[in-house]
Amino acid sequence: MISRLRLENAAFSYNQQPIFSGLTLELQAGEIFCLLGPNGCGKTTLLRCLNGILPLKTGEVTLQGKDLHTFSDTEKAKQIGFVFQDEALLFPYPVLEIVRMGRAPHLGFFATPSQRDTEIAEAALETVGIAHLRDKAYTEISGGERQLALIARALAQEPQILLMDEPTSHLDYGNQMLILKTIQQLSYERNISVLIATHFPEHALLVSNKVALMKDGEFMAEGHAESIITAERLKMLYNVNVKVVSVSNGENTTTKAIVPLLNALSSRERNVYE
């Protein structure tokens, strides 16, 4: 089976400074893939390369088995939706207008959105559960609602792949779970493949099929979330002591959970002072 999106032996550098190298990953249909790693490890850059916004130095990205460069900008945007991290906006567009912008790759250069495009945008709002915000100004809704609106915009592109850059980073606990649930739904019900760069290993355990742990521009480990996310690896990745425990979720199955241990962290800091 051809993977939907594939990255092969990729390297990128910015002003001669290498950001990452030797990265290979595959995204299958309907899969949720989490990219974990500390700040500055190159996650965001990698997402931009996968979308073709930034050019790889070496290696290649293949979309549906074909080199990404062979796709036109609009063809690419019909396949890949990108959900950016906190988009600050100056003009108070209504939410519906923001979502309608997702129709851009489907429209001719001089065209404006039609009734059908509006209907698709409304359906996207419905899918992420914020249809009631349709006419509200984007600048006046909450952070969680904004993130949902951006997901809806990406959905209006009708893509098969969603790339998400820290979609839960500025949100409260409830909104984090709401976003994760939405992502899970998109994967289950629409068979959309989702690649998420995130700071939360718990989120990877909750929703993802696969994870890659990224450190200093390389993948430290890659595979199924349950087997890859261990206390040792998280210690290596974030320099934090944690316990990974199994919790019964009420039914006959168990979920893994991560418990950070602050006392252990402070012992390291004590060493610094001594």
Partner 1 sequence: MTKKQKTIAILLPILPLTIALLSFFFGRYPISPMLLIRVLASRVVHITPDWPSTVETVIFNIRLPRILMAMGVGAGLAISGAAFQGMFQNPLVSPDILGVTAGAGFGAALGILISGNSITIQVFALGFGILAVALSYTISRVYKTTPTLMLVLSGIVIGAIFSALLSLAKYVADPNQKLPAIVFWLMGSLAAISKRDFITTAPPMLLGMVGLLAVRWRINLLSMGDEVAQSLGVRTERLKAIVIICSTVVTASAVSVCGIIGWVGLVIPHVGRMLVGPDHKVLLPASMALGATYLLVIDNLARTITSAEIPLGILTAIVGAPFFAFMLRKTQGGWR
- The site for partner 1 (CB under 8 A) is made up of 48, 51, 53, 72-78, 80-82, 84, 87, 89-94, 97, 101-102, 104-105, 109-113, 135, 137, 157
CB of 91 to partner 1, least distance (A): 4
CB of 5 to partner 1, least distance (A): 14
Nearer to partner 1, 93 or 200 (CB): 93
- Nearest approach, Cβ of 78 to partner 1 (angstroms)? 7
Whether residue 7 contacts residue 175, with contact meaning beta carbons closer than 8 Å, is answered with no
Closest CA to 198 of 66, 47, 19: 47
Residue 132: partners with Cβ closer than 8 Å, 6 or more residues away? none
- Cβ distance to partner 1 smaller for residue 101 or 244: 101
| Nearest-approach distance from CB 92 to partner 1, in angstroms | 5
Nearer to partner 1, 135 or 232 (CB): 135
User: What is the smallest separation between the CB atom of 109 and partner 1, expressed in angstroms?
Assistant: 7
Nearer to partner 1, 161 or 204 (CB): 161
Q: Cβ distance 21 to 218 under 8 Å? A: yes
Q: Phi and psi for 262 in degrees, rounded to 5?
A: -70, -35
Which uninterrupted H or E stretch holds 254? Answer: strand 254-260
Minimal distance in Å, beta carbon 4 to partner 1?
Answer: 17
| Share of the chain residues as helix, strand and coil, in percent rounded to the nearest 5 | 40, 30, 30
Tokens of 109: 């250069």
As measured in angstroms, the least distance from the Cβ of 212 to partner 1 is 22
* Nearest residue (CB) to partner 1, 73 versus 274: 73
Q: 3-class SS at 271? A: helix
- Spatial distance between the Cα atoms of 150 and 239, rounded to a whole number of angstroms: 33
CA distance 236 to 240: 8
Those residues whose C-beta lies under 8 Å from the C-beta of residue 92, and which sit 6 or more positions away, are: 137, 138, 139, 140
Token output for 260: 């950070």
Cβ-based nearer residue to partner 1, 80 or 120: 80
Which CB atom, from 59 or from 94, has the smaller least distance to partner 1? Answer: 94
d(CA 5, CA 49): 12
